Amino acid sequence: MGLLIDQPIRSLFNGVSRQPHTVRLPSQVQEADNVLFSVVSGGFTKRPALKLVGKTGLDPSNPYKAHAYARDANEQYWMTIDNSGGLSVFDALTGEEKTVNFYGSSERDYITTGDPRNNIVMVTVKDYTLVVNRSIITSMGVTSGGGLSGSVATFGDLPYSASSNPPSDGVVYKVTGAATGLDDYYVKYVQASDIWIEWVRPGLKNAFDASSMPHKIVRESDGTFTLSRITWRAREVGDDVTVPQPPFIGSALSDLFFFKNRMWLVSDEDIYSSKSGDFFELWPDKATQVLDTDPIHRVAKSNTVSPLRWATPHRETVFLTSANSQFTLSGGATMSPKTASVDMTTTYSTSSLARPVTVGDQLYFAASTQRDAVLLEYFYDDETLSNTAADVTKHVQGYIPAEISTMDADPTTGMLFAVTDGEEDTVYNYTVYWDGETKAQSAWGRWRTRCDGIIGLQCLGDRLSVLVSRGGDVFIEECAFVPEAPLVGMNFNPLLDCRVAVAGDHDSDNNVTSWTLPFQHQAKAIAVASGDFNSAGREVSLDHDSGDPYKVSAKGDWSGGDMIIGLPYTAYVELSRIYVREGENNTVLGGRLQLKYMKVSFTETGFFEVEVTPDGKPTRTYTMSGRKLGSATNRVGEQPILSDIFRVRVKGKGDTTTIAFKNETHLPFTVTSATVKGFFNELSRQENA
């Protein structure tokens, strides 16, 4: 018979692993769909619902650049730009479309590109959203008029008002600086104040072509939005030698960011800043000296050509990444032309699609192999005194398809969300938790949304806001980062995607209540009675209208309140194979573990199933319905929510039996830990006998 043992699985919060079962942590699992992993609960819970915020009216067949930002807790927006230069703005909290003031063909031309997702970059600061089109070549404007009135060797040689030949107002002279060793510079006479001021050489292209430069979208005081060109200050001193054109002229911009009270533009291997405190001033004040407030130009140099793609402020520096190299821009407390430096730090191959994101002290950037996505965790190593990056997808190799196209993160919960080109309807979720210097949690899972595609996602405040395509419509939906409190009049929060609360119309002749939905029911929509009804929490059987994809109905009069209706999603977790462990979770391989049963600890749960599939045998399903004889929560007409232990017969070998948890309902479930009991036959003892 062997030795009867109890094998505990004390926690289940470390997510999916693709390593061999024998080397995994007991807290890792084989599959994890639509769940959250938490060090607080010690296990996993069905993820919160993607609640419908509003229908946008966007055409899902168009490609979009989607960008969201939070002005404050009560004012948050989604912006989209399509491939014809169409700009739309929506309230991310209500779904209401905002007014975009008229803009002309020139502005539309700048934001028009056949691939807006990859060619448009949008960065928001306060009420300004700056837009970069990576397919537009920057250029200078028209040549200025006028000419030089003369040339002198020194400033003292200039004519003055009391001379026999006083200068006219506005005349420009060149000062060669031959006697002082200074470079040539130019001065203009201002008659009203009788002074010469430093000036720019006439006859040059001194102003930017604003149609080729970044544009701005401004939230006006009346709540409308305006797309327009930016007024850039022209060069006012020097010439093409002493004050040369910025290095990005003649090239396309790849990114834009704000750091140390400056706006920075990224182009090829160059990064170039505005003046300190003046974001739209890209020229120095003087040609004859360098000031701390002047624009800064630095080059990211390496042994290979490394055009920069993304720039992400991180801690006290800026992380710059190209296809094969990473750099850091730093400059101390006061960034100036004298202190700024760019240094190469690492040489990882990276993906160009997704902007890197930060979570606390860590920064994450994407890479890919031929078929798999890779996520690298970039940090400063105090032991080696250098920057390094760890592959946090190493233990899930083959799980995430290439390549990551969009990602964002919430630093409060330590959660990162990513969408890939390989599965555009799925959100891959990474949760990290640091206990001091120890990484206590590194958990991967995926959220299957049953939508047609995810256009954009952004962490806004305490929730994930998502722009999704479903059945020919585009919706704004949102999901909390943690399980939500029960709804009013209910003892749980219904878990249905695209969820809405909607009033019904009662047909008294046929005693049928019908509802018109903002989304297509797909013959799958589920209705749950809200707290407005005595049967709150009860699932109401729906008829899905085959002729109208937006209409559902139910027998009886349900017009007395709102019905909660949405699309179900399946939470599914398959455990790793079970082995005897000893010491520091070391797997005992020299034996056979024959499982008898499993005890599952759960909390705040209404329903789940456990599917047990011994090798070569049919699957057996055990159901925890929330109803327990004698329990105070087991009341007629009320959905019980229970915390207890559920016993499951296994009767199979630990290393070949599949054990999985499943919840296809609108009810919550949280599994915190488990214990298996079985007989262990140690092979070495049998051989010695």
Indicate the pLDDT class of residue 689, thresholds 50, 70 and 90.
very low
Indicate the pLDDT class of residue 6, thresholds 50, 70 and 90.
very high
pLDDT at 688: 47
Average pLDDT score over the chain:
94
pLDDT at 687: 47
Phi and psi at 59, nearest 5°, equal -90, 115
Q: Which residues pair with 342 in a beta bridge?
A: 329
How many CA atoms does the CB half-sphere of 645 hold within 13 Å? 8
Q: What is the rounded CA–CA span in Å between residue 90 and residue 477?
A: 12
pLDDT at 451 exceeding the cut of 60: yes
Residue with tokens 């034996």: 591
Q: What is the mean pLDDT of residues 369-397?
A: 88
Span of 305-309, 326-330, 342-346, 381-385 with lowest mean pLDDT:
381-385
List C-alpha distances in Å: 263 to 175, 279, 312, 582: 33, 5, 13, 57
Span of 67-76, 99-108, 267-276, 335-344 with lowest mean pLDDT:
99-108
Indicate the pLDDT class of residue 384, thresholds 50, 70 and 90.
low
User: Does residue 254 contact residue 267 with C-beta atoms inside 8 Å?
Assistant: yes
Nearest-CA neighbor of 412 among 428, 393, 431, 427?
431
Q: Residues 478-506: pLDDT tens digits?
A: 999 999 999 999 999 999 999 999 999 99
pLDDT at 521: 96
Q: How many CB atoms lie within 10 A of CB 316?
A: 12
Structure tokens at 547: 């002729």
Indicate the pLDDT class of residue 683, thresholds 50, 70 and 90.
confident
pLDDT at 627 exceeding the cut of 80: no
Q: What is the mean pLDDT of residues 586-596?
A: 90
Q: What is the rounded CA–CA span in Å between residue 29 and residue 446?
A: 13
Nearest-CA neighbor of 466 among 32, 38, 57, 54?
54
- Our CA dihedral for 653, 654, 657, 663, rounded to 10 degrees, sits at 140
pLDDT at 634: 61
pLDDT at 437: 87
Q: How many CB atoms lie within 10 A of CB 228?
A: 15
Indicate the pLDDT class of residue 160, thresholds 50, 70 and 90.
confident
* Strand ranges for 10-86 from DSSP E: 29-33, 35-37, 44-46, 51-55, 64-72, 75-82
pLDDT at 388 exceeding the cut of 50: yes
Q: What is the rounded CA–CA span in Å between residue 350 and residue 356?
A: 10
User: Does residue 566 contact residue 527 with C-beta atoms inside 8 Å?
Assistant: no
Q: Which helix (H) or strand (E) holds 105?
A: helix 105-110
pLDDT at 631: 63
Structure tokens at 417: 């969300």
- Indicate the SS3 state at residue 565: strand
Question: DSSP assignment of 324-376, as one string?
Answer: S-EEEEE--SS--TTT-EEEEEE-----SSS--EEETTEEEEEEE-SSBEEEE
Q: Residues 233-249: pLDDT tens digits?
A: 999 999 999 999 999 99
List C-alpha distances in Å: 592 to 490, 640, 668, 678, 689: 47, 40, 36, 10, 16
Q: What is the rounded CA–CA span in Å between residue 4 and residue 582?
A: 15
User: Does residue 187 contact residue 176 with C-beta atoms inside 8 Å?
Assistant: no
Q: Residues 56-90: pLDDT tens digits?
A: 999 999 999 999 999 999 999 999 999 999 999 99
Q: What is the mean pLDDT of residues 304-310?
A: 93
